[in-house]
Structure 1
């Protein structure tokens, strides 16, 4: 078997995430305690106890998902379960977790990268009036033309029939109404803080580029795919550019899945929260083998 690891993106977070890992695994405990120390605030408290409103903040949830996903990875690695892993990839923020698992940089560096990314994106959210909406059951080319007409952007192409659009709040509201009038199967506004993966994130992109210019990137030990193209990327400078561009670019997650399978992956493992990515694998191709690992019970099995 050739296995691909998948890491969660923003929106998957939930109160209690990682608590049982911390209580049962010395590996997880060390990573969480290290994260608290580096951050100067307690990601443990917010992950384990909430409240949900605080955990959902961009600057918090991105860090929480990174630490959780990487803790699951390190536990599984220590258990000897990752011998068949050849590919790592992540949805949006999860791409940083994938790079960390692949050895592009160490945990401490990856944590700092995520924290800065999240801080800059939250600033951009607060400085703009952006929103997002999910478009369900509509073909990609139809949504692309619709976005051009409505002056919004395709933010996430998650799997067949599941696309998220992003832009100024008034334009997203207009797009939701227009989509309903045209008989789109389902168009629904999302409860998000801003217009991620759109031009409204340009200030965050610029700040992130400056920050990453000072970070050393190494060649990945696994094959990694970038959200910006859906294709394999391996050169350190290309990895850096992909992370910068991703802040304002469409997340081509379906393309990542399809290209990984075409490259020989026959088992997809989600190391994250809520089984969201596992569900997207199933909707992309119901014949692809998949599993999700989130809790200590999952890892003991």
Structure 2
């Protein structure tokens, strides 16, 4: 969920192997392959980033290129964030009026969950609208029907619903703002001093996954399913001995990365137990989960700690449901149930509710789409995977990792990321002058 220092501008997949190249490499075979997909009629998968990709001034690149829609978007954001003045919103999203640098208070304010979630959604939707206007011509049919699939990481799922026309922008902003507010409220993060240690949070963990190389030091029994099962079993054992403890898998992001959420001490204990369990079967493995990183968040996203917000979110959604629309030309995969395509208003409501506290099966979502495309004739021209939004290069990296391990059609993974000059952002804005 949290943004990492990762950049991905272009990834070309041939069968199971992907080659990363930047747009500066314009004369090689990977560029030729990417041009073939771009100029053809590829199946399209759009994906949207979640919380953790926000940063101060994240709307400033859009203001330069799309001033009217950006200003209108900030006004719409102000409607769901009434405690912020127009001046405050402009400072946080566009930059200080006097041209000075952002200060520590700005950084803290932007990362506040109740602000970050609607701000990320707005940024992604504005970029998506520009994308449709610019790249719709890749498909000769109605541009609104050009995407076979959409997925969003956590909060990004709500963005996908807006992009697909299931929700209006105003509905998406209201839902995401309320979602963030309730998450802060249930954990007490809305009242605590920022320096206060809540004892809650998340760890990103690199999993010791076996590859198919003969020289791989990781035993073959350690596949992703086995590691997840071991962690879940250890979490259950720890909870029995320590009632009330919460240490849960929150995201399975790629074949070799997961995120755990809950009480930080409980997570540490569970990972130590998992290490011991694996070493019983493979004594030479040592400490497997030493490559873990505490994320700079104080809310245990996608854990049962947040489940109590469901009744209030349900009321919010049902009060708006009359204006929801069913997905039409685009299939949206649910984060918490990747085999399911949202097909009704109730599906939309449940996806938003479950997406507040159920795990995000991102890796499985990508695999499920690959399976559906491989089972149909829609991917004969290749598959274009496109990340849309500020920080979407990070999410694209996760897609890349999964596609490397998944037999598929020839694919091109790009991102339209206003925070990454190496992404398709430059291609997008180059014709808007």
Q: TM-score, normalised by structure 1?
A: 0.92
Pair 1:171–1:38, CA change in 2 (3 A): closer
Residue equivalent to 1:160: 255
Does structure 2 conserve the Cα–Cα contact (< 8 Å) formed by 1:69 and 1:97?
yes
CA distance in 2, matches of 1:195, 1:147: 17
Residue equivalent to 2:227: 142
CA distance in 2, matches of 1:134, 1:93: 18
Does structure 2 conserve the Cα–Cα contact (< 8 Å) formed by 1:6 and 1:98?
yes
**Mind listing any 5+ residue stretches in structure 2 that lack a counterpart?**
1-41, 96-101, 190-197, 209-223, 240-246, 277-285, 374-378, 405-409, 419-424
Residue equivalent to 1:30: 72
Of 153-162 and 210-219, deviating more is: 210-219
Residue equivalent to 1:253: 362
Which of these residues, 146, 155, 160, is aligned with residue 93 of structure 1? 155
Q: TM-score, normalised by structure 2?
A: 0.65
Matched, 1:237 2:342: no
After TM superposition, give the deviation of residue 177 of structure 1 in Å: 4.8
Which of these residues, 190, 194, 205, is aligned with residue 310 of structure 2? 205
For the pair shown, which has the larger CA radius of gyration, 1 or 2?
A: 2
CA distance in 2, matches of 1:113, 1:89: 17
**Mind listing any 5+ residue stretches in structure 1 that lack a counterpart?**
none
Residue equivalent to 1:6: 47
Residue equivalent to 1:72: 127
After TM superposition, give the deviation of residue 156 of structure 1 in Å: 0.5
Pair 1:62–1:200, CA change in 2 (3 A): same
CA distance in 1, matches of 2:356, 2:411: 29
Does structure 2 conserve the Cα–Cα contact (< 8 Å) formed by 1:230 and 1:259?
yes
Of 173-182 and 68-77, deviating more is: 173-182
Residue equivalent to 1:187: 292
Does structure 1 conserve the Cα–Cα contact (< 8 Å) formed by 2:396 and 2:414?
yes
Which of these residues, 164, 169, 194, is aligned with residue 102 of structure 1? 164
After TM superposition, give the deviation of residue 184 of structure 1 in Å: 1.4
Which of these residues, 100, 106, 109, is aligned with residue 54 of structure 1? 109
Pair 1:214–1:148, CA change in 2 (3 A): farther
Which of these residues, 313, 317, 325, is aligned with residue 218 of structure 1? 325
Q: Stretches of 4+ moved more than 4 A in 1? A: 176-182
CA distance in 1, matches of 2:249, 2:75: 38
CA distance in 2, matches of 1:170, 1:179: 14
Residue equivalent to 1:63: 118
Pair 1:175–1:76, CA change in 2 (3 A): same
Residue equivalent to 1:267: 384
Does structure 1 conserve the Cα–Cα contact (< 8 Å) formed by 2:114 and 2:180?
yes
RCO higher in 1 or 2 (8 Å CA, sep ≥ 6)? 2
Matched, 1:45 2:87: no
